Amino acid sequence: MPRLNAARKHTIDFTLNGKAVSAEAENRMLLSDLLRHEIGLTGTHVGCEHGVCGACTVQIDGKPARACLTLAQQVRGSDVRTVEALAPDPAVLSPLQAAFRRHHGLQCGFCTPGILMSLDALLREQPDAGREDIREHLSGHLCRCTGYATIVEAALAAAEEQRKEETPNA
Ligand code: FES
Ligand code: FES
């Protein structure tokens, strides 16, 4: 029976943070490893490597996805966004990031990139998300520092700000 050569490399063409990328990856390379070790985008954090903590969350075609449970080969032809894409300029925080700062939504920051990528997708799909929606959406993320309350407050503030921007006269 033919055996899969795990070390064999293939070219993967995909879009990463709005730019076309062509990368070489072995059959079993994880997306998290491709992003961090091959491409050098270390904003995507890796905690449990088992799909439990949510730290590695990125967006694939607009949906939150665990980069530690995704093979690099699976993103061929997809649109991948990482936390590096949130702010238009490294010196300027996105509104969601700024809300985290204002509301003390992070301490050590290890969980933060994954949480931001999840919330960014939620607020795009559901701009009227309320407290319970946000809590439910974040149920797949572990934070060892904040106790979650400030994260939820930050998300609510960002959602409100986004609604005001979208309907300034409402
Ligand atoms: S590192 Fe992927 S879910 Fe924990
Ligand atoms: S801020 Fe430290 S784990 Fe969440």
Quote the pLDDT of residue 53.
Answer: 98
Nearest CA to 115 among 95, 100, 129, 126? 100
Total domains, the chain: 2
Nearest CA to 31 among 66, 77, 63? 66
Is the CB–ligand 1 distance for residue 140 below 6 Å?
no
The parent domain of residue 136 ranges over: 95-164
Tens digits of residue pLDDT in 76-122: 999 999 999 998 788 899 999 999 999 999 999 999 999 999 999 99
Is the CB–ligand 1 distance for residue 52 below 6 Å?
yes
Strands 19-26 and 9-16 turn out to be antiparallel
Say whether pLDDT at 136 is over 80.
yes
Tens digits of residue pLDDT in 12-33: 999 999 999 999 999 999 999 9
8 Cα to the center of ligand 1, angstroms = 25
Q: What is the pTM of this model?
A: 0.93
Rounded mean pLDDT of 142-158?
A: 97
Quote the pLDDT of residue 71.
Answer: 98
* Substitution site in 33, 34, 35, 52 for ligand 1 pocket (most atoms within 8 Å of beta carbon): 52
CATH number of the CATH domain containing 136:
1.10.150.120
Residue where a domain terminates, one of 39, 67, 85: 85
Residue 2: band (very low, low, confident or very high) from pLDDT cuts 50, 70, 90: low
